[in-house]
Amino acid sequence: METIPLNSPDKEFIREVQERSGQNVLSCYQCGNCTAGCPYNFAYDLSVSRVMRLVQLGQREAVLKSHSIWLCATCQSCTTRCPNSIDVAKIMDVLRHMAREAGYATERNVKAFGDAFLESVEKHGRVYELGVTASYIRKTGRFWTDVDLAPAMLPKNKLSIKPHEVRGKEHVSAIFKRFRERDTAKENS
Amino acid sequence: MSISVGYYPGCSGSGTSVEYDKSTRAVCKKLGIELNEIDDWSCCGSTPAHTVDHTLSAALSARNLVLAAKQGQEEVVTPCPSCLANLRTASRKIEDENYRPKVEALLDEPCDEAASVASTLQLIVERVGMDAIKKAVVKPLKDLNVACYYGCIMNRPPELMQFDDPENPMAMDDIMEACGATVLPFPLKVECCGAAAGMPKKDIVTELSGRLLDVAESLNTEIIVTACPLCQMNLDLRQGQVNRANGTRYDIPVVYFTQLLGLALGLSAEEVGLSKLVVDPTPRLRFAGVL
Ligand code: SF4
Ligand code: SF4
């Protein structure tokens, strides 16, 4: 495990996580309940209670560069079981937003999959599975790792060949457009 | 009894979980529930949207709630727990006067009129009820051992979902029992199956879904019953991948609760879309006298 120097807490980081999540991270007393119930712990580099501790200690880099925040599935086990009613899953979500904004993506494939999915929604209004798959392959340079599923899926017509277009798809893409404009505005302010 | 609500099928309903959508519609019709599909509904943003931005996610969901309200539906139900979580979160953000303007800014539309949201499971349990189901059963699921698997987010976080028990939910257990099935005590009811990690991180799914199948097998489960398109896909479509990765040989059918409920109510295999499943449940159902 990597050692993390605990000097110089980044107070601004602590404040930002608290504000964006609406959660009081300082009330975490490290009972470990969240980690005990986290189904992804086996794949994490930092356990979720350790992430909480490092946020309390203002360790921006260590937290935003961790793999855990990208692997979290928002299963809500931590949030459901935290004795201090901290919405831990929401904090993991916010940390992922901040990592994205800082240009970190320690799990490239996870990010690529999410991006491909949202591009499809932006374009068609609904998800188009084959489109997502093609775009994911393009982004990651990996051939479809699920190709072994094709023989099970194709005869069942479970992959639609055509996108599901929504009449109001312009309305949906405008939501994305305004979101990006809002983000630039935030950065410039 | 006549119930009429708005219906949000969700994107997987027209792709990977067509049989869930189909059986949900058929079961509701049978139980006297009128589902009015929201005209021109769009994607709720699923998991990717909230991992990018909470307001973006809320706006994508809110579009549908506002549409439903405009179409005269005060209440919207959805079969998919992931859509449910997004729609409910959005509805809560819209109720918050400090948050609503942020959603309206992205939607470019006022959000004061938004429908409320529940799952079709909740609707059936709370508004139809077990007595009515028992009365409507024409083909009891007797001689069938089932394990009900709820997945992680149907009931969690409890403060948002406001339905059933977050650690030991019973809604599907009760329905299956009302249909005459033997319900096994499945200890991993709310454990995660690997969710959307399937494509980007397959080893996570084979590990987590492997655990679920392992425990189900040890209980002599004949059929796993689900209510979530992602859970169903990981356990059914990916069961072969799990077997290859873990050196196992599971062959456990994984069906939607609406499919078994539908059969018990007298619907045909075709009407509940049984042929869409990858692990074929028909031998076991035939053996149990359900087909
Ligand atoms: S469960 Fe809550 S209090 Fe306990 S370690 Fe996790 S976040 Fe901290
Ligand atoms: S929400 Fe994320 S961090 Fe929390 S228990 Fe689930 S996977 Fe772990």
* DSSP secondary structure, chain B, as one string: --EEEEE---GGGGTTTHHHHHHHHHHHHHTTEEEEEPTT-----HHHHHHH-HHHHHHHHHHHHHHHHHTT-SEEEES-HHHHHHHHHHHHHHHSTTTHHHHHHHHTS--SS--EEEEHHHHIIIII-HHHHHHH-SS--TT-EEEEE--SSSS-SHHHH-SS-SSS--HHHHHHHHTTPEEP--TTTTS---GGGGTT-HHHHHHHHHHHHHHHHHTT-SEEEES-HHHHHHHTTTHHHHHHHHT------EEEHHHHHHHHTT--TTTTTGGG-SS--HHHHHHTT--
Over range B246-262, report the average pLDDT.
Answer: 96
CA of B131, closest CA in chain A: separation in Å? 31
Q: Per residue in B141-173, pLDDT tens?
A: 998 999 999 999 999 999 999 999 999 999 999
Q: Would an 8 Å CB–CB cutoff place B138 in contact with chain A?
A: no
Residue B108 to residue B280: CA distance in whole angstroms: 47
Tokens of B155: 């009931």
Q: What count of Cα atoms within 13 Å lies in the side-chain half-sphere of residue B110?
A: 3
Task: List CB contacts (< 8 A) between B42 and chain A.
Answer: 121, 125-126, 166, 168-169, 171-172
Interface contact flag, A97 B53, Cβ < 8 Å: yes
Tokens of A111: 């990010």
For a pLDDT cut of 90, what percent of chain A falls above it?
57
pLDDT in the model for residue A3: 66
**b vs e for A95-129, b when ≥16 Cβ sit within 10 Å of the residue's Cβ?**
bbbbbbeeebbbbebbbbbbbbbbbbbbbbbbbbb
B58: pLDDT confidence band, cut at 50, 70 and 90? Answer: very high
Contact A89, A74 (CB under 8 A): yes
Residue A33 to residue A37: CA distance in whole angstroms: 6
Task: Share the mean pLDDT of chain A.
Answer: 86
Nearest alpha carbon to residue B136 among B32, B35, B224: B32
pLDDT in the model for residue B95: 95
pLDDT in the model for residue A189: 44
Residue nearest (by alpha carbon) to ligand 1 atom 7: A28
Residue B199 has pLDDT above 80, yes or no: no
Residue B7 to residue B28: CA distance in whole angstroms: 11
pLDDT in the model for residue A139: 72
Contact B121, B33 (CB under 8 A): no
User: Exposed, middle or buried by CB within 10 Å (0-12, 13-18, 19+), for B37?
Assistant: middle
Tokens of B52: 């990018």
Q: How far is CA A10 from CA A57, A101, B172, B188, in A?
A: 8, 17, 48, 40
CA of B11, closest CA in chain A: separation in Å? 6
Task: List CB contacts (< 8 A) between B107 and chain A.
Answer: 175
A137: pLDDT confidence band, cut at 50, 70 and 90? Answer: confident
Residue nearest (by alpha carbon) to ligand 1 atom 2: A82
Task: Share the mean pLDDT of chain B.
Answer: 94
Question: Residue B291 in 3-state DSSP?
Answer: coil
| CA geometry: angle B17, B19, B20, nearest 5 deg | 70
Q: Per residue in A62-98, pLDDT tens?
A: 999 999 999 999 999 999 999 999 999 999 999 999 9
Q: Per residue in B19-46, pLDDT tens?
A: 999 999 999 999 999 999 999 999 998 8
Name which of A23, A118, A119 to mutate to probe chain B: the one with the most chain B Cβ atoms within 10 A of its Cβ: A118
Residue nearest (by alpha carbon) to ligand 1 atom 3: A28
B130: pLDDT confidence band, cut at 50, 70 and 90? Answer: very high
